[in-house]
Chain A
């Protein structure tokens, strides 16, 4: 039997499908999951077996149903939590950029206004300066400083949410790299499923796109690391060993992502083993 959205067709007879839009949407979804037929429909099938009298009616009905179906599918694609995490991470990165630009500007501005207080060399951390500025006499500067403190608070709220989701949907990757770096790598890959499908060598240079392409086109030295550089084991390793550490970590990240995607649970023995190997790569 061949099954299409408008009806079921067998050699002898046909049964037109009938119902409201919801029924047809459910019917198409069912057929998509249990592929009813690998034979395309013919014009004759439509004429013989659909309950629609005219071509216009056929098209307009199919259009209405397809729009409802597409809306449902899009919603479902968006509902996966890794997609949500991608947006959270982007938000954090944007916020970091914004606060870093703003705080630099604010500190410099303040230096000009109060010549004696801060010099470049014995400057306190920018963060501390800003906290102090919230109570300074200049109303404009203190207003901006208060906004900045607010942004820092928002950022830590976001970070704790990222940690929560990352620990839930990718416990192993998150434990291996820390929630934020793990989420950035997942975001660069485009999703947890995609990360789980990548080879380790790709993960190693995720986020180093321009360096990679300049290597491919002009033959400059290949990048050793992309986002994995943000992991402390990589950037604290001596220059000579960084490439090795990055490679080992990337390989372990891919395995962790696969465990996360397919098994969906934390695997302490894997993490212990991975940690030991990464440590070895950085010290030997």
Chain B
């Protein structure tokens, strides 16, 4: 990943809404949970997206984070379920040549099984109560060398428990299938969210 004086940027062409730094697009932590994770967690040694990288993005929303990922990656398979953000996402993929929009439910990976190839990274940002199960169900798309970047929305799981407790419980579940490389709450940017990076367990 490219950073200039500690500021995370992406190598895309800056649009009129983007902040610029030496001609690069500034990837702001206030706008994107991946950038927040980059600043708060120990991501720098674990994640490196290049022009060879293939990425499966679950919960693509209207595609703002997708657009940064696509600046780095060879191809982004962007899965989104809700029709409203999907329309924005389609508009974005018409402008970029490496975003594959998929209108499907991430809880049901069979729907995109005929389309998605093995990927280096799965980035997950879905607002569902069973986020850990979704990660587990989608791990079959991951290369042996790949890893999952899991943004945990604790408020989608419970509004009563503290984010810490929910994060630890999720990690315990994930640890049955994955090796957890790092985890942290996205404080101060998204206090109700956690970032977890995990690799498939080697048998």
Contact = CB atoms under 8 A, between A and B. Distances in A.
* SS class, residues of chain B in contact with chain A: mixed
Interface residues of B, number: 29
B90 interface: yes
A77 interface: yes
A112 interface: no
Nearest to A62: B100
Contacts, number: 83
B86 A37 contact: no
B118 A67 contact: no
B92 to A, nearest CB: 10
A238 interface: no
Contacts of B93: 63, 66-67, 70
A198 interface: no
Interface size class of A (residues with CB under 8 A): 20 to 34
Interface string A53-95: 0000001101100110111011001100000000000000000
Nearest to B101: A70
A59 B113 contact: no
A3 B140 CA distance: 16
B114 A74 contact: no
Contacts of A157: none
Contact of A35 (B110, B140, B159): B110
B117 A43 contact: yes
B102 A35 contact: no
A219 B172 CA distance: 30
Given A70-B86, A74-B90, A46 B117 contact: yes
Contacts of A41: 116-118
A5 B159 contact: no
A62 B118 contact: no
Contacts of B97: 59-60, 63
Nearest to B80: A70
Nearest to B102: A66
